[in-house]
Amino acid sequence: MKREKLRLRPTALWIVFGPVLVCIWLAAVNYSNNLVYAVLYLIASLCFISLFHTWRNLAALRVDSIRVKSAFAGEDVTVEIFLSSPAKYPIYGLVFARLGEGAEQPQLLLRRGGGAGRIKPGDTCSCETAFPSLRRGQYRFESLLVKSSYPFGLFWAAFAVPVGAFYFVYPQPKGTEGWPEMRPAGEDGSPYSLKPGDDFSGVRAYSPGESLRHVDWKAYARGRPLSVKQFTGGDGLELWLDAGQLERLPLEERLSQLALWVVNAEKAEIPYALKLGRTAIPIGLGPAQARRALEALAVAGIDPAARLY
Mean pLDDT to the nearest integer, 93-120: 73
Greater confidence (305 vs 101) lies with: 101
CATH class as words, domain 1-170: mainly beta
**Residue 231: what pLDDT?**
57
Mean pLDDT to the nearest integer, 163-181: 87
- Report domain extents, the chain: 1-170, 182-306
Which tens digit of pLDDT belongs to each residue from 221-238? 888 888 877 655 445 678
Q: How many CB atoms lie within 10 A of CB 117?
A: 13
Name the range with the highest mean pLDDT among 105-119, 235-249, 273-287. 273-287
What single DSSP character describes residue 309?
-
Which tens digit of pLDDT belongs to each residue from 121-159? 888 888 889 999 888 999 999 999 999 998 898 999 999
Identify the band that residue 260 occupies on the pLDDT scale cut at 50, 70 and 90: very high
**Residue 291: what pLDDT?**
92
Residue 252 in this model has a pLDDT that exceeds 60: yes
| Gap between the Cα atoms of 280 and 299, Å rounded | 14
Cα dist from 114 to 53, 62, 82, 94, whole Å: 24, 18, 13, 12
Q: How far does Cα 302 stand from its chain's mean position?
A: 22
Residue count of the chain, please give it: 309
| Gap between the Cα atoms of 99 and 52, Å rounded | 26
| Gap between the Cα atoms of 266 and 289, Å rounded | 9
